Amino acid sequence: MGRSARVLGLLRPYAPLFVANIAVTMVASLMDGATFVLLIPFTRALFGQRALPATGGSTIEAVLAKVAGPWLAAGAPETALRNVVLVLLVTLVVKNVATYAAAMSSVAIEEGVVRDLRVRLFRHLQTLPLGFFQRTRAGQLLARVISDTDQVKTAVTAALASFLRNASLILVYVAILFGLSWRLTLLALVLAPLLALIIRPVIARVRRRSREQAEDRGELTSLVSEMVSSVKLVRAYVAEAFEIERFRRLADQYRRRVLRAQGASTLMSPLSEVFAGIVIVLLFSVGARLALGASAAGGLPPAVFIAFLIVALRLMSPVKAAAQYPTIMAGAVAAADRVFEVLDVPADEGDHPDAAEARFREAIEYRGVSFCYDGEAPVLQDVNLAVRRGQVVAIVGPSGAGKTTLVDLLPRFYEPTEGAILMDGVPVTRFTRASLRRLMGIVSQETILLNDTVLANIAYGRADFARDQVEAAARAANAHDFIAHLPLGYETLLGERGTRLSGGERQRIAIARALLRDPPILILDEATSALDMEAERLVQEAIDRLIRRRTVLVIAHRLATVQHAEVIVVLAGGRIVERGTHATLYAAGGLYRRLYDLQFRD
């Protein structure tokens, strides 16, 4: 499917409304044309002639005579003039009612299309692999969801509706012109294809410039988003001037891109207007000769020639507007390309049609598991590990050993490159992702909190928890006391990423979130690192409550916190090099002892 066809395909759900929009647009166009046609009987009646000729006359006059001739020509010239004016007023009212209906239906389609596209894009983002988000800047995604979809809707609805309205006006006006003088109309139509040849290279340039402009807009959004999230770093390193200059350069580049895109787009208007002006001048000169020879065969009566000129001049506006549509469509296709690029990324979160609900009763097993990111060097190699139900297994090792990757494979954030992970002897790939993840609670070093209330953050993703359940989880997580001292307690907004709270407080909110769901499997990824001693004590107390009667995988940098784990697994270079209890590993004098002694040598 071509890019333009794919963009226009977004209109499919609104086909009935779109057809109605076209119908009322045609009515408005016909009424608009009728107001100019009525100038002929108006001019005749004004000068005391018959409103419509008894015999002869143009095709348009013949049509008018059949439709409303007796009424328009009835009685004295004053009566005929009054009747013409009344018909003209009724025509104007009908035209404007139809125009209003067309405009409102166009807005309804427009907002429906952009909502559908945004929801579709947002839904697809939920299915993409984590690696996609790691290699794509957040600001670029934000630009595609917000501004690029806006540009698409402009072409698909507002611009398309305008194009159809103007196209119908052109058809009506051309039909009227044919009825008034087929010779002059054919002369204009013979010249029309030249306009298409003139504007074709301009359209290609607009599409290219619009794509560049959209990319730069995404970079601007990314830079602002990045600055907001790292404002403390900027100020700590006195980098305000550096960031301002970086933004100024990017903003200036964006300005140049916009000027180039607008320069190409704006060129369409003067090109089409100059071309139309040349055609009108040509029609003037030829039409004037026909009007001067009106008495001769094939001549043009003055009233008809005046109506022809007015309609021809009126035709310039819709021709000019319709000529703009290809450039608008080119910009929209460029924006749509960026949206469809994301929609075309294969989903990674789908489940097999036969996937079952996950259950956990006995053990988790890593069997010959290896993993690498996008063809890079292996992060894990031939890992074999069994975790019994109710067991606490600590995973330690130097930085970059693959500890976080090892636990990220269990909830299927990533899929093993080789080997398999089994739960009760069944590969986890046979379970639905949602049911598998509902078995797990995850507390990591980087606690993610939303700009929402404390209550909403603890009960995140669920609306079926009662207030007393949330409070009970907060008490168990040593969080209730500090929450009670917040300005609005559990209804206090935490700010962007929970910036109103300390690191220890954020961790206790995360623990309360996990406790509330009461999962049988718990993953703790350096949950107490980077905390002061008092915060660590409170968090560790909460963790001790959290791990009771649960199967726990805990990654720890501070080895003192995992001394009592039933099994300690030591990773190095993506492989398990040691396993055992603290006592046996320390006595063995291997990597674990060296890491332990480095931390406690003082």
pLDDT digits (tens, 9 = 90+) for 110-136: 788 888 888 888 888 888 877 777 777
User: Is it the case that residue 479 has pLDDT exceeding 80?
Assistant: yes
Separation of alpha carbons 42 and 81, rounded Å: 6
Q: Which pLDDT does position 385 carry in this prediction?
A: 92
Separation of alpha carbons 307 and 293, rounded Å: 17
Chain-centre distance for alpha carbon 186: 46
| Single pTM value for the model | 0.68
The CATH number linked to 418 is: 3.40.50.300
SS (H, E, C) 449-463: CCCCEHHHHHCCCCC
Both 273 and 315 in one domain: the answer is: yes
Contact present, 270 and 202 (Cβ < 8 Å): no
Both 104 and 161 in one domain: the answer is: yes
pLDDT mean over 531-548: 69
Separation of alpha carbons 225 and 425, rounded Å: 45
DSSP 514: H
Looking at the domain assignment, is residue 357 inside a domain?
A: no
Looking at the domain assignment, is residue 239 inside a domain?
A: no
Both 306 and 380 in one domain: the answer is: no
Both 39 and 147 in one domain: the answer is: yes
User: Is it the case that residue 403 has pLDDT exceeding 60?
Assistant: yes
Both 540 and 414 in one domain: the answer is: yes
pLDDT mean over 500-518: 83
Contact present, 539 and 528 (Cβ < 8 Å): yes
Looking at the domain assignment, is residue 235 inside a domain?
A: no
DSSP 388: E
Q: Which pLDDT does position 156 carry in this prediction?
A: 66
The CATH number linked to 115 is: 1.20.1560.10
Both 454 and 332 in one domain: the answer is: no
* Token representation of residue 547: 């791990």
Separation of alpha carbons 249 and 487, rounded Å: 42
Both 327 and 396 in one domain: the answer is: no
| 401 φ/ψ angles, rounded to the nearest 5 degrees | -75, -20
- CB count within 10 Å of CB 350 equals 11
Q: Which pLDDT does position 422 carry in this prediction?
A: 94
Both 102 and 167 in one domain: the answer is: yes
Complete DSSP assignment for 301-369: -HHHHHHHHHHHHHHHHHHHHHHHHHHHHHHHHHHHHHHHHHHTSPPS----TT-B----SSEEEEEEE
Separation of alpha carbons 446 and 130, rounded Å: 16
Domain count, the chain: 2
**More confident call, 17 vs 347:** 17
pLDDT mean over 39-64: 57
| Band (36; pLDDT cuts 50, 70, 90) | low
Among residues 347, 343, 340, the alpha carbon closest in space to that of 129 is found at 347
User: Is it the case that residue 68 has pLDDT exceeding 60?
Assistant: no
Both 480 and 337 in one domain: the answer is: no
Could you say which of 279, 309, 343 is where a domain stops? 343
260-301 residue pLDDT tens:
777 766 666 677 667 766 777 776 676 666 665 554 445 566
Stretch among 202-216, 224-238, 492-506 having the lowest mean pLDDT: 224-238
Kindly list the distances between the CA atom of residue 125 and the CA atoms of 120, 144, 345, 436, in Å, as whole numbers in the listed order. Answer: 9, 11, 9, 20
User: Is it the case that residue 569 has pLDDT exceeding 80?
Assistant: yes
Query: Any bridge partners for residue 387, and if so which?
Result: 364
| Band (323; pLDDT cuts 50, 70, 90) | low
SS (H, E, C) 64-121: HHHHHHHHHCCCCHHHHHHHHHHHHHHHHHHHHHHHHHHHHHHHHHHHHHHHHHHHHH
Separation of alpha carbons 144 and 86, rounded Å: 52
Looking at the domain assignment, is residue 533 inside a domain?
A: yes
Kindly list the distances between the CA atom of residue 44 and the CA atoms of 51, 69, 179, 298, 384, in Å, as whole numbers in the listed order. Answer: 5, 13, 18, 20, 99
Kindly list the distances between the CA atom of residue 91 and the CA atoms of 28, 34, 87, in Å, as whole numbers in the listed order. Answer: 9, 7, 6
* Token representation of residue 6: 């794919």
Both 490 and 542 in one domain: the answer is: yes
Q: Which pLDDT does position 272 carry in this prediction?
A: 67
**More confident call, 415 vs 539:** 415
DSSP 418: E
Kindly list the distances between the CA atom of residue 59 and the CA atoms of 43, 176, 182, 305, 444, in Å, as whole numbers in the listed order. Answer: 17, 9, 10, 13, 81
Both 289 and 377 in one domain: the answer is: no
SS3 label, residue 404: helix
Separation of alpha carbons 329 and 567, rounded Å: 63
**More confident call, 163 vs 291:** 163
**More confident call, 287 vs 392:** 392
| Band (402; pLDDT cuts 50, 70, 90) | confident
Both 405 and 521 in one domain: the answer is: yes
Separation of alpha carbons 75 and 207, rounded Å: 60
Range of the domain at 205: 3-225+253-343
**Which secondary-structure segment (H or E) carries 389?**
none
User: Is it the case that residue 441 has pLDDT exceeding 60?
Assistant: yes
| Band (10; pLDDT cuts 50, 70, 90) | confident
User: Mean pLDDT of all residues in the chain?
Assistant: 77
% the chain with pLDDT above 70:
72
